[in-house]
């Protein structure tokens, strides 16, 4: 109305009716709405700076805004795979907490679940997306991004303490890690998700008898094959659940100075990360790509900058091992002994590498000694966020930097 009164004074009008004032007010408000209206590329650009969790309510403002959100996500700032960090207390009642890092917005979130799962046995991850818990009375696993749904099934017939667990298509392969009193420490069982049945199959190769557990083997899987690499030697075997056939051994290391290596899968191809030199004097941390079918050496993806290698060491003076969780072209690399610092790598389709580091917001001084820290990585979009919010079992809390 301030502009209305300015108009009245400037035109020398001393007396106006209430109707005149209302007409002037409506005209002025319409003019102001037209002046502040944002749409098209301007609106989409603004939305590109809004965190993904805040874009969900924006979709319900109007059809125009809903279309703008979709267009912004496809054109300006696309969703990127999230890092999900799960902590589990080593003391009863083994409480769990759930954190997430969104690289698109460069923010950490805590996801407060109203009904957090309670697991007595250790929580473990595999294949970057699979969470699982093995208990004498059941086997529980979850594969959705926010792990809203847990499937609880009968346990495998062979009791295991530290098995290799990998999801290959619609099957979950459980191998090795058997208790000392079991007859076959290399036993392999396959759980079919569609039929909900277990099947015993050919045991692991005898060459793996001294390393047949997730402590000593690095695991990767695509939709057809699971790969198992000895972290210390690089010797690798593969298993096809369809044909129930083992292949190998293969020596995949392209450099003899590698003293520790882990593997992961991007699509059908195998990615190997290697520590070169020795634990007290790490020369390089390299990534290589191998063909998923032939396991032939493909190319070197990148070399971690020296300052980031130092960050991985944390407060220690050596780097004995690393772990990796990845999805698509995003890799999160960490030292299991110092999980408070993460190295992030984004690999573009053209082959470029973007390195960086970030503090693990889920790790505190207390959690270093009193909690297990388990990482997964998943594609997260508005659909996944809507499902979490719609379930009523999750609230996002933005964490301070």
pLDDT in tens, 328-341: 899 999 999 889 99
DSSP state of 116: -
- Position 298 scores a pLDDT of 79
- Position 330 scores a pLDDT of 95
Kindly list the domain boundaries of the chain, sorted by start residue: 40-71, 79-398
Span 257-272, average pLDDT: 93
At residue 187, the 3 state secondary structure works out as coil
Q: Cβ(264)–Cβ(326) under 8 Å? A: yes
- Position 386 scores a pLDDT of 93
Between CA 399 and CA 307 the distance in angstroms is: 26
- Position 316 scores a pLDDT of 82
The order of strands in the sheet holding 338-347 is 323-327, 330-335, 338-347, 353-359
- Position 91 scores a pLDDT of 82
pLDDT band at residue 369 under the 50/70/90 scheme? low
User: Which residue is it, tokens 């699979």?
Assistant: 130
Per-residue pLDDT at 110 exceeds 50: yes
pLDDT band at residue 236 under the 50/70/90 scheme? very high
DSSP 56-108: HHHTTS-HHHHHHHHHHHHHTS---PEEEEEEEESSTT--EEEEEEETTTTEE
Per-residue pLDDT at 350 exceeds 70: yes
Q: Which fold has domain 79-398?
A: Neuraminidase (2.120.10)
Burial 316-346 (b: 16+ CB within 10 A, else e): eeebbbbbbbbbebbbbbbbebbbbbbbbbb
- Position 3 scores a pLDDT of 38
Per-residue pLDDT at 55 exceeds 70: yes
Q: Cβ(357)–Cβ(331) under 8 Å? A: no
pLDDT band at residue 230 under the 50/70/90 scheme? very high
Q: Centre a 10 Å sphere on the Cβ of residue 240 and count the other Cβ atoms it contains.
A: 13
pLDDT band at residue 100 under the 50/70/90 scheme? very high
Among 27-36, 71-80, 217-226, 388-397, where is mean pLDDT lowest?
27-36
Between CA 301 and CA 252 the distance in angstroms is: 15
- Position 267 scores a pLDDT of 87
Q: Centre a 10 Å sphere on the Cβ of residue 248 and count the other Cβ atoms it contains.
A: 18
Span 262-285, average pLDDT: 93
Residues 160-194: tens digit of each pLDDT: 999 999 999 999 999 999 998 888 999 999 999 99
Residues 300-316: tens digit of each pLDDT: 999 999 999 999 998 88
Residues 2-14: tens digit of each pLDDT: 332 233 233 333 3
% pLDDT > 70, the chain: 88
- Position 26 scores a pLDDT of 52
pLDDT band at residue 370 under the 50/70/90 scheme? low
- Position 119 scores a pLDDT of 77
- Position 120 scores a pLDDT of 75
- Position 292 scores a pLDDT of 67
pLDDT band at residue 68 under the 50/70/90 scheme? very high
- Position 15 scores a pLDDT of 31
Angle between helices 40-47 and 63-75 (to 10 degrees): 70
% pLDDT > 90, the chain: 66
pLDDT band at residue 94 under the 50/70/90 scheme? confident
At residue 271, the 3 state secondary structure works out as strand
Between CA 322 and CA 283 the distance in angstroms is: 14
Residues 113-160: tens digit of each pLDDT: 866 677 778 899 987 789 999 998 999 999 999 998 999 999 999 999
Span 364-373, average pLDDT: 68
- Position 25 scores a pLDDT of 45
- Position 90 scores a pLDDT of 84
Query: Who has greater pLDDT, 232 or 92?
Result: 232
- Position 326 scores a pLDDT of 94
């Amino acid at each position: 109305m301030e502009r209305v009164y300015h108009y009245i004074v400037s035109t020398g009008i001393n007396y106006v009716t209430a109707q005149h004032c209302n007409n002037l007010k409506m005209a002025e408000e319409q003019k102001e709405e037209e002046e502040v209206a944002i749409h098209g590329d301007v609106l989409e650009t603004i939305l590109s700076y809004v965190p993904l969790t805040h874009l969900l309510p924006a979709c319900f403002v109007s059809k125009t805004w809903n279309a703008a959100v979709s267009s912004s996500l496809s054109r300006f700032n696309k969703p990127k795979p999230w890092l999900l960090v799960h902590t589990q207390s080593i003391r009863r009642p083994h409480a769990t907490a759930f954190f997430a890092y969104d690289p698109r917005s460069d923010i950490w979130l805590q996801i407060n679940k109203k009904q957090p799962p309670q697991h007595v046995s250790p929580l473990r991850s595999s294949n970057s997306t699979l969470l699982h818990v093995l208990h004498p009375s059941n086997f529980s696993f979850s594969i959705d991004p926010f792990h809203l749904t847990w499937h609880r099934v009968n346990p495998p017939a062979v009791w295991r303490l530290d098995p290799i667990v990998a999801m290959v298509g619609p099957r979950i392969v459980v191998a090795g890690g058997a208790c000392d009193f079991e007859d076959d420490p290399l036993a392999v069982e396959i759980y079919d998700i569609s039929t909900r049945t277990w099947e015993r199959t050919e045991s692991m190769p005898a060459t793996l008898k001294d390393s047949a557990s997730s402590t000593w083997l690095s695991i990767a899987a695509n939709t057809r094959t699971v790969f198992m690499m000895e972290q210390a030697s690089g010797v690798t075997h593969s298993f096809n659940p369809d044909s129930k056939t083992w292949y190998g051994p293969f020596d995949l290391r392209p450099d003899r100075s590698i003293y520790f290596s882990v593997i992961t899968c991007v699509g059908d191809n195998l990615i190997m990360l290697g520590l070169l030199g020795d634990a007290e004097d790490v020369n390089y941390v390299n990534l290589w790509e191998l063909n998923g079918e032939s396991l032939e050496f493909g190319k070197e993806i990148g070399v971690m900058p020296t300052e980031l290698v130092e960050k991985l060491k944390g407060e220690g003076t050596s780097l004995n091992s690393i772990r990796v969780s990845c999805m698509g072209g995003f890799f999160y690399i960490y030292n299991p002994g110092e999980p408070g610092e993460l190295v992030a790598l984004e690999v573009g389709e053209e082959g470029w590498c973007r390195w960086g580091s970030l503090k693990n917001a889920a790790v505190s001084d207390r959690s270093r000694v009193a909690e297990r820290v388990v990482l997964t990585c998943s594609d997260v979009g508005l659909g996944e966020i809507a499902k979490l919010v719609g379930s009523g079992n999750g609230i996002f809390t933005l964490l301070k930097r």
